[in-house]
Amino acid sequence: MTAPEADLTGWSAAPFTAGGYTHDVYRKGKGPGVVLIPEIPGIHPGVLALGNHLVDNGFTVAIPSLFGEPGRPISPGYVLPTIARACVAREFAAFATDKQRPVSVFLRALARDLKASAGGKGVGVIGQCFTGGFALAAAVDDSVLAPVLSQPSLPLPLTPKQRRDAGVSRVELDVFADRAANDGLCAMGLRFSEDKMSPGERFKTLKERLGDAFEVIEIPSGAGNEHGFSKAAHSVLTDEVRELEGHPAYEARKRVVEFLTQRLS
- Mean pLDDT for back-to-back runs of 10 residues, the chain (265 residues): 96 97 98 97 98 98 97 94 91 92 97 96 97 97 98 96 96 97 97 98 98 98 96 97 97 98 96
Bridge partners (DSSP) listed for residue 125: 35, 147
Sign of the Cα torsion 165, 171, 172, 175 reads: positive
Domain 12-264 - what CATH class? alpha beta
Cβ(132)–Cβ(154) below 8 Å: yes
Per-residue pLDDT tens for 181-237?
Answer: 999 999 999 999 999 999 999 999 999 999 999 999 999 999 999 999 999 999 999
Burial 74-95 (b: 16+ CB within 10 A, else e): beeebeeebeeebeeeebbbbe
* Distance in angstroms (rounded) separating the CA atoms of residues 14 and 26: 7
- All structural domains of the chain with their residue ranges: 12-264
Q: Taking the complete model, does pTM exceed 0.85, yes or no? A: yes
